[in-house]
Amino acid sequence: MKKHASAVWTGSLKEGKGTISTETRVLADAPYGFRSRFEDGPGTNPEELIGAAHAGCFSMALSAQLSNAGTPPERIETKAEITFDKVGDGFAITASHLTVSAKVPGIDAAKFQELATKAKEGCPISKVLNAKITMDATLVS
Helices (H) and strands (E) in the chain, counts: 4, 6
pLDDT digits 0-9 by tens, 52-85:
999 999 999 999 999 999 999 999 999 999 999 9
- Helix (H) or strand (E) run with residue 97 in it: strand 90-103
Task: Show Cβ contacts of residue 21 under 8 Å, excluding neighbours closer than 6 positions.
Answer: 5, 6, 7, 27, 28, 29, 30
pTM for the full predicted model: 0.90
- What are the structural domains of the chain? 5-38 (no CATH), 57-140 (3.30.300.20)
Main-chain dihedrals φ then ψ at residue 58, nearest 5 degrees: -60, -45
Helix (H) or strand (E) holding 65: helix 46-68
Average pLDDT over residues 110-137: 93
For residue range 86-102, what is the model confidence (pLDDT) as tens digits?
A: 999 999 999 999 999 99
